[in-house]
Amino acid sequence: MPEKRGVQATEEIKAEWATAYKLYLKAPGDRYDKKKDRTSRIDFVAQEMNLTRKQAKRRIRNYEAWQRNIKKGIVSP
């Protein structure tokens, strides 16, 4: 289903992914432990956006995948 990539998500959803990722980048984390770092950052995003941890994790993962697809030229920004 590569022809559908990036088409399902609306601009509002993509904006929400971007907001979540910006919060993720500025969140405090554990710089000595990669797993704890990501976990604590995702927890911070969930708390700031009033989401569950799973929802926050999914938004961050979707943003990262979207950026990879843009880089590969599969979807347009």
**5-58 tens-digit pLDDT:** 656 788 899 999 999 999 999 999 888 999 999 999 999 999 999 999 999 999
- The answer to whether position 3 is within a domain reads no
Residue 19: predicted pLDDT: 96
- The answer to whether position 15 is within a domain reads yes
- The answer to whether position 1 is within a domain reads no
Residue 43: predicted pLDDT: 96
Residue 29: predicted pLDDT: 87
Structure tokens at 66: 């979207």
- The answer to whether position 54 is within a domain reads yes
- The answer to whether position 17 is within a domain reads yes
- pTM: predicted TM-score of the whole model, two decimal places: 0.85
Q: How many domains does the structure of the chain reveal?
A: 1
Residue pair 76/6 in contact by the 8 Å Cβ criterion? yes
Residue 7: predicted pLDDT: 66
